[in-house]
Amino acid sequence: MDKPETISAQQLGVLFFTFMTGSSIINIPAPLIGKADNGAILSLLISGAMGMALLGCMLYLHARFPAMSFVEYSRKLIGVWPTIIISVLPLSFMMHMLTAIVLDIGLFMRSSMLRETPIYAFTSLIYMVSALTVRAGLEVMARMFTIIMILVVLFVSSVLLLAMEDYNPGFLVPVMPEGIQPVLNGAFFTFGFPYAEVFLFAMLFHFVRKQSNKQANSGLNRHMFLSLLMNILTLCISTACTIMLFGPLAGIKKYSLYELARTVEVQEIITRIESVIGMSLIAGSYMKTTITLYVLCLYVTHLFKLKDYRTIVMPITLIAFLNTLVGFESDMQWVEIVSIVHPLWDTFAFAVPLLLLTVIAAFRKHTN
Amino acid sequence: MCPDTMGGTTPSSESTQAAAQPQLSGNQASNGNPQRPISDRLEANLSQLEQIFAKNSDIVFRHWSYGPDLRHTACSVYYETLMQGEIINYMKSSLQDLVTHEVGPGITITPEHVRSFFEHDGVSEKKAELLEDLDQAVDQITAGNIVIFFNQWNKALTYRSLTIESRPISEPANESVVQGPRESTVENLQKNIGLLRVRLNTPKFKTVSLTGGGETRTRVIYGYVEGAADPEMLKDFEKRITKISETEILETSYIEQLIEDSTWSPFPQHRYTERPDTAVAALLDGKIVILVQGTGSILLCPGLFTEFFQSSEDYYQRTIYSSMIRFLRMIAFALALTLPSIYIALSTFHTELIPTVLLLAVIDTREGIPLPAFFEALVMEFFFELLREAGVRLPKAIGATVSIVGALVVGEAAINAGIASPIMVIIVALTGIASFTIPQYNIAIALRILRFPLMVSASVMGGFGIMIVFLLILLHLCKLRSLGQPYLTPLAPLRMKEFRDVLVRAPLKTLLKHPRKHTPKG
């Protein structure tokens, strides 16, 4: 590359929103409601607040080390070997994330649209497109995802609006039918997916174009927090809509937004619009896969001080694809991994190293 | 270089330079050939020229005698095929300059008179240039100018005399409009530049003249409006355009292919027009125009994706109408790209997405069709492409017959024979019509190409396949650049401020408020 890639703070904000919302908007509501019932929204608010806290840590670290990625300032703060040691979990979890997102698309496609197609047909194609996008670079990603995200938001919000006539706000109360415990359980689940995953952007802050330092940082902070707020709002709305439509059934329906779209019928003109949601899910998951893959490659590149991340995109994609092939045994086992192991895993993989570094950085003020 | 010199090739600068040099020195010869000074013996010069122009049936060597007792000789050399207009006797006019009264055959003139008059830039009606080099003389002759050699003078005179018939300015054939100017460019470079300059009365409109390489030595002029064109883009462009000096340029598209960013992209990265008003609008918008001698098409670069949906008429009609039409074009674009593949995906994989009544109708018409939907669509599309290609290549008179026969035979008979379903014929026809509504011909080609991978993926993976190909196309578009500018500007990167001419055509008041994208700062 002749010129280092840069994007604007706004573009990074859009990427962040895309990353946080892309696949979760369709995957989150059903299992969350299954765990927390009507307290789902509260769960989201709690885990969202925790996500905010993590984001705050990341932005603090970025303000301290403006031109560095997470790996680079970690190396500076705690040394080379400790960095490698604390990187084992994040790397493994990012690989798991890739597998999870892509597998979700495959499972969704198989369960809803193309029932007889083997899963690897979907996953391999998604991986291929993602890898090509990653190779195109962050600038292209930022440009492309803005367009896609606008379309996805448009689709989803129009579906939610069209389903309006079937909503029953009465389903929303009582807010906590079974006390605080299910709510905390839901918060734990949503912290694992998606809010602990904000960590990935600690690798991307340094791509933001710097005008004057102070101005750029405040712009970045504003955009990032705004994106996260929008994300929490979006997830809350889609969860609330699901509850209002299905009531007690909401937790059982898989891919609730898809099911929600199925019920839409305006006259006989607008019917069967669930395919639009299906497309949004594919697009959203594809974007999240791409960002995750990009960060994973960047992480490895920085960790081992490689020259260009592009050289390792294809091998890593292949490994992730193979992992997707062998990492899945049955739907039940997969749900268990995602809802129980997943939150615990990424708390240790993402949140703990981040907090550790923040504390160290706060105490060692002179290192810059 | 200022536009006023564009008419001439390079003689003025070269010959004045040569005149200032001592004879027989330096490498003044063009093309870096070994210098061949003009001899002061006429026969020597002529014999060399006769060798060079051997077997050129249209070369003319006209011998003259002048001076006291007609003792002195001279000879003018030119291609008679390149001087088709009024024939002026340049020999006479060159001698006429030397005498005080406009009379007689110049019997008092001697070579010394001629020499001193022309070497000191004497006042003359027709300006002659001085040549010292035989190769320069050859260049002048092949460029359509007349060169006069005098005995006892080691220089030659050249007069600009190229007059060749060109088509008169007519209505544009490919970009017709209901309202707006009806002038179109012709195959004459000077006329074309004139058409532009008459609409753009400012010295800020710069035109730079270049010469292509090889045997054609085609003259190429690129123009831009200073202050409107992005200086960085201009620098990038100038770096790329230098390549043309190694290439024979026959048409503007040669230059497009030399300077484009991505050769293998199905999407055109430059726009063409034959309308001077379109070219001027583009110039004001900061584009660079390229014109080539001998062809009427103007290349506008960089070409961005959204501009291929704009027609010059959009600005001559009222805002609301233009915006609606543009909306229609976008739908047409989507239809032309995806209609066959969506039909394949729906009828093969997602029948549940088709409303029941429509589904029954579709099933009904497809009954007894031997081919699966994909092959049916492929065959019909292929027929359609055949028809279209045949229509383009045939003489105009037969072209109409082909389309009638094609429509009847391929449409009607295929349905009756049970090879294709009526709904497929509708779809293919609709796709074709939709692709004709796009104002720029060259982006419709991209659609024709991309339709086929979409159909294949739709037949293999249904909607998911279409989605994947769409993502790939979008990725390509986001990655593509035209002269260094992102191709999808202002969609990606998203710039809301530049949206006034993308989805809707903003009112002219808004549109003209800041028409220059790259006004110089400060």
Could you report the per-residue pLDDT of B18-47, keeping only the tens digit for each? Answer: 333 333 333 333 444 447 888 888 888 999
pLDDT at res. B444: 87
Q: Which of A40-49, A99-108, A217-226 has the highest mean pLDDT?
A: A40-49
What percent of chain B has a predicted confidence (pLDDT) above 90? 25
pLDDT at res. B167: 84
A12-32 pLDDT, tens digit each: 999 999 999 987 887 888 888
B199-212 pLDDT, tens digit each: 999 999 999 998 88
Separation in Å, CA of B490 to nearest CA in chain A: 10
B409-419 pLDDT, tens digit each: 777 888 888 88
Q: What is the mean pLDDT of residues B397-403?
A: 76
Residue A25 forms part of a structural domain: yes
pLDDT at res. B15: 36
Nearest neighbour of A275 by CB, restricted to B350, B493, B494? B350
Amino acid B9 reads: T
Task: Quote the tokens at residue B9.
Answer: 């090739």
Which of B357, B469, B475, B485 is best to mutate for the A interface (most A CBs within 10 A)? Answer: B475
The span from the CA of A211 to the CA of A6, in Å, is 12
Please state which of the ranges A119-123, B270-274, B329-333, B399-403 shows the lowest mean pLDDT. B399-403
pLDDT at res. B103: 53
A324-346 b/e with 16+ CB inside 10 Å = b?
beebbeeeeebeebbbeebbebb
Q: Which residue of A has its CA nearest to B488?
A: A143
Question: pTM for this one?
Answer: 0.87
The span from the CA of B444 to the CA of B441, in Å, is 5
Task: Quote the tokens at residue A239.
Answer: 């969860």
Q: Is the pLDDT of residue A307 over 60?
A: yes
Which DSSP helix (H) or strand (E) runs through A106? helix A80-112
What percent of chain A has a predicted confidence (pLDDT) above 70? 96
Question: Which CATH number characterizes residue A185's domain?
Answer: 1.20.1740.10
Distance of CA A188 to the CA centre of its chain: 15
* Chain A contacts in chain B segment 231-250 (CB below 8 A): none
Q: Report chain B's terminal Cα–Cα distance, integer Å.
A: 26
Please state which of the ranges A6-10, A55-59, B385-389, B493-497 shows the lowest mean pLDDT. B493-497
Task: Quote the tokens at residue B280.
Answer: 């001027």
pLDDT at res. B513: 67
Q: Quick check: B359 contacting A, CB < 8 Å?
A: no
Q: Is the pLDDT of residue B429 over 80?
A: yes
Q: Quick check: B472 contacting A, CB < 8 Å?
A: yes
A315-368 pLDDT, tens digit each: 999 999 999 988 777 777 887 887 788 888 888 889 999 999 999 988 887 655
Q: Is the pLDDT of residue B174 over 50?
A: yes
B301-325 b/e with 16+ CB inside 10 Å = b?
bbbbbbbbbbbbbbbebebeebbeb
A245-278 pLDDT, tens digit each: 888 888 787 788 888 888 888 777 777 788 888 8
- Give the dihedral sign, CA B299/B303/B308/B314: negative
Name which residue leads in pLDDT, A150 or A27.
A150
Q: Is the pLDDT of residue B184 over 80?
A: yes
The span from the CA of A95 to the CA of A296, in Å, is 8
Name B360's Cβ contacts closer than 8 Å, sequence gap at least 6.
Answer: none
CA dist list (Å): B350 to A112, A266, B229: 10, 20, 50
Task: Quote the tokens at residue B51.
Answer: 């060798």
Q: How many residues does chain A have?
A: 368
Please state which of the ranges A209-213, B30-34, B254-258 shows the lowest mean pLDDT. B30-34
Nearest neighbour of A114 by CB, restricted to B349, B474, B478? B349
Q: With H, G, I as helix, E, B as strand and everything else as coil, classify residue A14.
A: helix
- A-chain CB neighbours of B467 within 8 Å are 279, 282-283
B220 phi/psi in degrees, rounded to 5? -125, 135
pLDDT at res. B106: 63
Q: What is the mean pLDDT of residues B57-76?
A: 86
Q: Quick check: B514 contacting A, CB < 8 Å?
A: no
In DSSP terms, A2 is beta-bridged to: none
> Kind of pairing, strands B219-225 and B205-211?
antiparallel
DSSP H helices in B227-311? 231-241, 252-259, 276-284
Q: How many CB atoms lie within 10 A of CB A132?
A: 18
In DSSP terms, B66 is beta-bridged to: B72
Residue A358 forms part of a structural domain: no
The span from the CA of A342 to the CA of A336, in Å, is 9
Name B122's Cβ contacts closer than 8 Å, sequence gap at least 6.
Answer: B97, B98
Q: Quick check: B463 contacting A, CB < 8 Å?
A: yes
Residue A45 forms part of a structural domain: yes
The span from the CA of A13 to the CA of B354, in Å, is 38
- B-chain CB neighbours of A284 within 8 Å are none
Please state which of the ranges A329-333, B1-5, B279-283, B338-342 shows the lowest mean pLDDT. B1-5
Q: Quick check: B469 contacting A, CB < 8 Å?
A: no
B192-201 pLDDT, tens digit each: 999 999 999 9
A36-85 pLDDT, tens digit each: 888 889 999 999 999 999 999 999 999 888 888 999 999 988 889 999 99
Query: For residues B344 and B377, is the Cβ–Cβ distance under 8 A?
Result: yes
Q: With H, G, I as helix, E, B as strand and everything else as coil, classify residue B289.
A: strand
- B-chain CB neighbours of A283 within 8 Å are 467, 471
State the burial class of residue B413 (Cβ atoms within 10 Å of its Cβ: 0-12, 13-18, 19+).
exposed
pLDDT at res. B2: 38
What percent of chain B has a predicted confidence (pLDDT) above 70? 89
Q: What is the mean pLDDT of residues B488-498?
A: 80
The span from the CA of A249 to the CA of A241, in Å, is 13
pLDDT bracket for residue B475 (50, 70, 90): very high
DSSP for B375-418, please give it: HHHHHHHHHHHHHHHHHHHS-HHHHHHHHHHHIIIIIIIHHHTT
Query: For residues B323 and B505, is the Cβ–Cβ distance under 8 A?
Result: yes
As for how many domains chain A has, the answer is 1
Please state which of the ranges A77-81, A211-215, B105-109, B333-337 shows the lowest mean pLDDT. A211-215
Quick one: which of A323, A62, A302 has its CA closest to A202? A62
Residue A359 forms part of a structural domain: no
Q: What is the mean pLDDT of residues B323-350?
A: 91
Across the interface, whether the CB atoms of A283 and B493 are under 8 A apart is answered no
Which of A6, A11, A135, A147 is best to mutate for the B interface (most B CBs within 10 A)? Answer: A147
pLDDT at res. B468: 93
Name which residue leads in pLDDT, B365 or A200.
A200
Q: Quick check: B480 contacting A, CB < 8 Å?
A: no
The span from the CA of B77 to the CA of B159, in Å, is 11
pLDDT at res. B494: 79
pLDDT bracket for residue B100 (50, 70, 90): low
What is the interface size between A and B, counted as CB pairs within 8 Å?
72
pLDDT bracket for residue B6 (50, 70, 90): very low
Q: Which of A325-339, B351-365, B391-405, B437-451 has the highest mean pLDDT?
A: B437-451
Task: Quote the tokens at residue A225.
Answer: 């927090």
The span from the CA of A30 to the CA of A239, in Å, is 8
pLDDT at res. B16: 34
- Computed over every residue of chain A, the mean pLDDT equals 87
Query: For residues A219 and A62, is the Cβ–Cβ distance under 8 A?
Result: no
Residues of A contacting chain B (CB within 8 angstroms) = 8, 11, 109, 113-114, 117, 121-122, 125-126, 129, 132-133, 136, 140, 142-144, 146-148, 150, 268, 271-272, 275, 278-279, 282-283, 286
Q: Which of A49-53, B1-5, B77-81 has the highest mean pLDDT?
A: A49-53
pLDDT bracket for residue A2 (50, 70, 90): very low
Angle between helices B134-142 and B42-52 (to 10 degrees): 50
Residue A108 forms part of a structural domain: yes
- Computed over every residue of chain B, the mean pLDDT equals 82
Half-sphere exposure for A146 (CA within 13 Å, toward CB): 23
pLDDT at res. B18: 34
Name which residue leads in pLDDT, B394 or A366.
B394
Quick one: which of B307, B473, B491, B505 has its CA closest to A151? B491
pLDDT at res. A145: 93
pLDDT at res. B104: 55
The residue written with tokens 């009582």 in the block is A174
The span from the CA of A255 to the CA of A246, in Å, is 12
Across the interface, whether the CB atoms of A125 and B468 are under 8 A apart is answered yes
Across the interface, whether the CB atoms of B461 and A268 are under 8 A apart is answered no
- A-chain CB neighbours of B355 within 8 Å are 268, 271-272
B39 phi/psi in degrees, rounded to 5? -80, 155
Q: Which of A170-179, A291-300, B387-396 has the highest mean pLDDT?
A: A291-300
Across the interface, whether the CB atoms of A113 and B464 are under 8 A apart is answered yes
State the burial class of residue B211 (Cβ atoms within 10 Å of its Cβ: 0-12, 13-18, 19+).
middle
- A-chain CB neighbours of B358 within 8 Å are none
The residue segments making up the domain with residue A114 are 9-353
pLDDT at res. A212: 57
The span from the CA of B491 to the CA of B498, in Å, is 9
pLDDT bracket for residue B474 (50, 70, 90): very high
Across the interface, whether the CB atoms of A125 and B463 are under 8 A apart is answered no
Across the interface, whether the CB atoms of B353 and A272 are under 8 A apart is answered yes
